[in-house]
A and B are shown apart, each in its own frame.
Chain A
Amino acid sequence: MPKQTRSSVPLADYDGESAQFGSQPDISQLVVEYHEDLFRYAYRLSGSQADAEDLTQQAYLIAQHKLGQLRNSDRARSWLFTVLRNCFLKSRRRKTIFSASSLQLDVDAIPDDYSSEDNVDREQLQLALNELAPEFRVVVTMFYFEQLSYKEIADQLQVPVGTVMSRLSRAKGHLRRRLLPEFEVD
């Protein structure tokens, strides 16, 4: 599997390929360039391959319809993420899975040594994500996947900064407890 870059790479930072986009990318180019990123993002949000495919496809169909709204091709990637995220939230608005109040903070639930990425089980990660309510899952996915700051997340979701910080901390605490079983009991 191709390894992802650590940072959130804007379209303009791509060498070569971005030059083909010109001022207005067409939808085929956006598929070639971003379908893998979008699928992965959708998978982490939805928790299943079928739903991730549906979400990605739905996002591209909307993007195709509203491509004229994309005035700056440098923002194509984040624009597509936003479209997809809105599709997800719309589909899950009434399906609260996990109560936010049960997510406790856990300062000590961090192990001494987890420098290797092998310490994170990808399937366990998804199971833990699936237990989160959509609004928590979205925030934590924007943080880890898009590497947005809490202010950028608040801005994009149009919610207060404090709400984002709270959701982020609770969601991360939940992940720590689920992925580090020895720290389950605080």
Chain B
Amino acid sequence: MNKNDLQRLMDACRSGYEDHELPEMKKLADQIDQDPHLRDLYERSQRWDFSIGDAFREVDVPLGFASRLHATLNAAHGDFQTLKFTNSDASVVAQEIDKVTVFRRSSADVPQVISRRGSFWKMGLASIAALILMTCGALWWPSDQVLELSSMVHSTMHWRHLVNDQSWQSELKNVLLDYPDRYVAARPHRWQHVKGPLDRRTLVFDLVTQGGRRAMLFVARVSTEVRGTTAPPEVPATTGGWSVGVWHEKGYVYVLMVEGREDRYRGLLSRRLPVA
């Protein structure tokens, strides 16, 4: 038996087991008994395996990984279906949405407030404020009361910073009305309201994704005309490591964003998207 054969047998013996005493290892055992150098080599090999075995298991597990797994498995198991809203839920949610004060860009209310105060000095300040407001509104609103989605895609990249990680709520039952599940295949597992640029109570869903990558869907109610795609774009805008798609439907603007490349974004979408 040459030394390569011996090495092969030694490498097949596990540390902490008596594998070298197995019948098929008899040649190795005999050599170890007869050759002190080989015995030393074998013992060193066993210690080496012990160290490597420990190192193999020394891996940090990401925080929250178990929760993400549970959420994914629950969603896959169909729990989402049981959370689907009913008609009665829908009416409750609709009422809730109607309470929301839609961001309006008219300056008509501003002079009324000023006139009640009756102060020339305050009126001057308020006029300046109104002018600033109108100017900002005109800049932000590219055409007369029409929201162009194409011009706001990149600004929505910053929407994720509106989210407060302490404010997530897990009870989805009353908010799923606004979830565009025919377009978005990924399932939400929690939600919150944020004060967004379009809607002071923009709904944000935190989505379950493959591998636990961050993904969110913003749903903002708008009361003005919107121009742009009415289904999620297949090719998202990408910047800063995020991919974002924006579309609108029936008075809502949807912003879908995911941490990662385009394929991560497309992985969130339903495969039955309408042909653009």
List residues of chain A with CB under 8 Å of any chain B CB.
Answer: 1, 4, 6-7, 27-28, 31-32, 35-36, 39-40, 43-44, 49-51, 53-54, 56-58, 60-61, 64, 105-107, 110-112, 114-117, 119-122, 125, 141, 143-145, 147, 149-150, 164-166, 168-169, 172-173, 175-176, 179
Contact = CB atoms under 8 A, between A and B. Distances in A.
Nearest to B60: A1
A105 B56 contact: no
Interface stretch (B5-13, B134-142, B186-194, B198-206): B5-13
Chain A contact residues, majority secondary structure: helix
Contact of A122 (B4, B48, B55): B55
A162 to B, nearest CB: 9
Chain B contact residues, majority secondary structure: helix
Given A54-B211, A56-B69, A61-B73, A110 B12 contact: no
A168 B11 contact: yes
Interface string B25-56: 00000000000000001001101111111111
B70 interface: yes
A60 B48 contact: no
B260 to A, nearest CB: 9
B121 interface: no
A114 B68 CA distance: 39
Nearest to A7: B16
Interface residues of B, number: 44
A57 to B, nearest CB: 6
18 contacts: A40-B56, A50-B213, A56-B69, A57-B212, A61-B76, A107-B41, A110-B44, A110-B45, A114-B47, A117-B50, A117-B55, A141-B56, A144-B53, A144-B56, A145-B57, A149-B14, A165-B11, A172-B11
B72 interface: yes
Contacts of A112: 44
Given A35-B69, A53-B65, A147-B53, A114 B19 contact: no
Nearest to B40: A112
List the 8 shortest-distance A-B pairs measured between CB atoms, nearest first.
A4-B57, A120-B55, A169-B11, A54-B211, A40-B59, A53-B211, A144-B56, A150-B12
Contacts of B49: 144
Contact of B51 (A28, A60, A119, A164): A119
A138 to B, nearest CB: 13
